[in-house]
Structure 1
Amino acid sequence: MKILNKAGIIFSCMLLIIASLTGCASTQGSKDDKNKQQSVEKVKNINISYVKAPLNVPSIIEKKKSLFENEFSKDDIKVTFPEITEGSKMTEAVAAGSLDFCNAIGATSVIMAAANGVNIKIIGMYSRAPKAFTIMTKNPSIKTVSDLKGKKIAGPKGTILHQLLLGALQKENMKIEDVQFVNMGIPQGVSALMSGSVDVALVAGPAVPQALEKGARIVTTGEGILDASIVIAARGDFLDKHLDIAKRYMNVHEKSLDFMKNNPEETYKLASEETNISIDKVKEMYNWYDFNPQITDKDIKELEKTQDFLKENGMLNKTVDIKTLVKDITK
C-alpha cells in the first residue's frame, strides 16, 4: 500500500512538472507573440524621403500608387514623404531621427555621413545610371576630355558628377589642377554654360536633354568611368529595433519594380506627369537606368572606389568599412 502511495505521489509530481513546463512554454510563446506585436505597435510613423529627379521612377510609382501606405496601414502606421532632395540634408535628418529611410541617396552622401559618425546603413541599391551623368559643353574647340585642360568647369562638389570629372581626367593622365573647377549646382551650372561664363558643365538627369535642346553637346558620360551608384539607406537604430519593418519596406520597393515591368506605358505616363518631362524623353532616359535593388560584389567595389575618391580629394578624413556599412536585407 505504501509502495502504491509512493508511486502515486511520484506520478502526480511528474504530471505537475510537465504541466509547469508546458505552462512555461505557453507563457514564453505568448511573450514572443506579444513582443512581435509590440515591434509593430511601437512604430506609429515612418518617414521616407521623396526625390523624383533625375528620374527616380520607383519612387514615383510608390508615391502615385500609394504602395507604402497600403502596406503599413494594416498596422495603423502613418507614412510621410518629406521632399528632401540634397543628400547631406537627408543624412542630417537621419542623424536627428526625423528620417527613417532615404529612398534614393547618392553613395557619396552616405559614406561621408557614416565616416562622420552618423548611424546609417545601406540596405539596397536604388539605381545605377552612368549614362545619366555627363560632362557637357557648347565650346566648339572642346571635342574630347583631353581638350578640357585649362577650361572653366562648373559642377556640384563632392557628388557623383564631381567624381565623374575626376575619373575622366584621370583616364587622360590629368588632375583637377589642370582645369578651373567651380563649385556650382546643376541648374546654375547649365545657366552658366548657356551664358558662356563657363566652358563646361557637369549635368545629370532631365537637365541633360534640356541642355541638348539648347545647343549643348555631351563630351562624355559616366560609362566606363563609374557606375553612378544611388542607394537605399536607413537609420541604423531603426533597423536594430524594426528589421521586420525594413524588410517589408524592401518588399514594397520590389512591388514598384514589378509594376514598372508589367505596366510600362502607365509607368512612363506617371513619370512624365510627375517630372514635367515629355513621355518621349522619359522613355529615352528610362533606358539609362538599372533599378535592380540587389547589392552585388561589383556594387561593393564601386562603393569602395567612391570612398577612395572622397579621401583622395580631401573630402573625407576618416574611412569606414564598406562591408559593415552595408546591411543587405534584399536576400
Structure 2
Amino acid sequence: MTVKGSIRLLGAAALMLAAVATARAEVATVRLAKQFGISYLPLTLMEEEQLLEKRAKAAGLDLKTEWLRFTGGSGMNEALLSGNLDFASGGVGPMLTIWGRTQGNIKVRGVAALNAMPLWLVTVNPEVKSIKDFSGKDKIALPTVKSSIQAITLQMAAEQAFGKGEQGRLDPLTVSMGHPDAQTAMLSGRSEITAHFGSPPFQELELKDPRARKVLDSYDVLGGPHTFNLVWASGKFVGANPKVVAAFVAALEDSLKLIRDDPARAAAIWIKAEGAKLSPAEAEAIIREPQNEWTTTPKRMLAYLDYMNRAGLVSAKATDQGELFFPDLVATGGK
C-alpha cells in the first residue's frame, strides 16, 4: 500500500471514530425540571404526552426522560451546576443570575421562553392597599427570596414606589415558600403569611376569597407583557447534545400548538397530572386569557437584566436579548 493510501485509510478511520464519538455524546436519558403552576403547562404536556420522546425517536434517538420537581429556581441552578440536571425551568430572575455567574465557564443560556404572564401580589391584610402599606406585621411569601422573578419584581416595584436605593425595603418581609404552601398559609388565617407573590393559577384561586385583594401586577411594574417562565441549560450540554436539544425545542413547539389548538384538552391533561383544584372550565379560562401568551419568544428580559445590573445582582451585561439565549434555537427578537 502506498503512503497516500495509508493516509487515506487513516483519515477515513479518524472520520469514523469522530462520527462514533459524536453519536455517543448524545445522552440516553435527559433530566428535566419544572415547578408548580399552570405556567408550566407546556412542560406538563410534554411529559404527559411524551412529546420529547416522540421527537427524539423521529431523529433516530432512543431517549428516556426523567422529570424532577422544584419549588424555586435556585435549587434548579444548584442541580444544573452540579451536573444533576440538564434542562432547568423557572422565572427570569434565577435564569439571569446563573447566566451572569457562568459566562466564564459553563456558559448557561436560555433555550426558549415558555410564556408571558402577569404575576400578582395578593394580600389578605385589609390595611394593605398598595405595597407602601406593608409593615413589620406582614410576611410576603414568594418562591425564593432575593432571586426569584417575584422577588426581583418586588424590588423593582419598591424602587419605583420608594425611590432610588430603596429597592430592598420590602426584602425583610419576604419568606421563601412554594406556591401551594404559600396559598394555604395565607388563606388559613393562622399563619404569619399575609401576602403571596405567586403565579397562575394560585393568584386566581386566592382572589376568589373575599378577604383577598391584588396590590401589585408585574405587567404594571415592567410596563407591559414580559416573559415569566423559560428553559435554560449549560453550553456544555447543548454543545454535546445537538439532536436532543433540537428534539426538545420541536417538542416544545408541539406542546404550544396543542395549547393553541385545543385548550380544553390541554386543561384536562394538566388538571389530571397536577391534581389541581380547578374545574376544567376554570383552567381553560386561564389558558385562554389574552394576557397569558404561550410563546417561545422572550419579552422584556433586558428590563430585568438592567435592574439586576443596577442593583449589583448580576455583573454581566447584554445589549441584545439574543445574547441571553443559545443562537438559532428560537426567535429572540424584542426588548
Q: CA, structure 1 residues 148+106, in 2 after alignment: closer, same or farther (shift >3 Å)?
A: same
1:49 match: secondary structure: strand
Query: Which residue of 131, 134, 153 maps to 2:120?
Result: 134
Of Structure 1 and Structure 2, which has the larger fraction of its residues in helix? 1
Deviation, 1:266, is: 1.1
Q: Which residue of 1 aligns with 2:91?
A: 106
Deviates more, 1:255-264 or 1:53-62: 255-264
| Distance in 2, Cα, partners of 1:76 & 1:180 | 49
Q: Which residue of 1 aligns with 2:203?
A: 208
Matched-pair contact (CA < 8 Å) for 1:51–1:84: yes
Deviation, 1:63, is: 1.0
Matched-pair contact (CA < 8 Å) for 2:268–2:280: yes
Q: Which residue of 1 aligns with 2:169?
A: 177
Deviates more, 1:264-273 or 1:66-75: 66-75
2:56 match: secondary structure: helix
Deviation, 1:293, is: 0.9
Q: Which amino acid aligns with 1:201?
A: H
Q: Which amino acid aligns with 1:177?
A: R
Q: Which residue of 2 aligns with 1:54?
A: 37
Q: Which residue of 2 aligns with 1:123?
A: 111
Q: Which residue of 1 aligns with 2:295?
A: 292
Q: Which amino acid aligns with 1:330?
A: V
Unaligned 5+ segments in structure 1 are: 1-15
Q: Superposition pairs for residues 37-116 of structure 1, below 5 Å? A: 38-51=21-34, 53-55=36-38, 56-73=40-57, 74-102=60-88, 104-116=89-101
Cα shift readout 1:192-232 (whole Å, capped 9, x = no counterpart): 53326354332322221332233311122211213253221
Matched-pair contact (CA < 8 Å) for 1:47–1:100: yes
Deviation, 1:97, is: 1.7
**Matched length:** 303
Deviates more, 1:274-283 or 1:28-37: 28-37
Deviation, 1:67, is: 0.9
Deviation, 1:191, is: 4.4
Q: Which residue of 1 aligns with 2:252?
A: 253
| Distance in 2, Cα, partners of 1:254 & 1:178 | 38
Q: Which residue of 2 aligns with 1:10?
A: none
Deviation, 1:269, is: 1.1
Q: Which residue of 2 aligns with 1:193?
A: 186
Deviation, 1:39, is: 2.1
Q: Superposition pairs for residues 216-235 of structure 1, below 5 Å? A: 216-226=212-222, 227-235=226-234
Deviation, 1:145, is: 3.7
Deviation, 1:250, is: 0.9
Q: Which residue of 2 aligns with 1:280?
A: 281
TM-score (structure 2 length as normaliser): 0.76
Q: Which amino acid aligns with 1:214?
A: D
Deviation, 1:128, is: 1.9
Q: CA, structure 1 residues 149+107, in 2 after alignment: closer, same or farther (shift >3 Å)?
A: same
Deviation, 1:259, is: 2.0
Unaligned 5+ segments in structure 2 are: none
Q: Which amino acid aligns with 2:42?
A: P
| Distance in 2, Cα, partners of 1:160 & 1:35 | 42
Deviation, 1:28, is: 6.1
Deviation, 1:110, is: 2.4
Q: Which structure has the larger Rg over C-alpha atoms?
A: 1
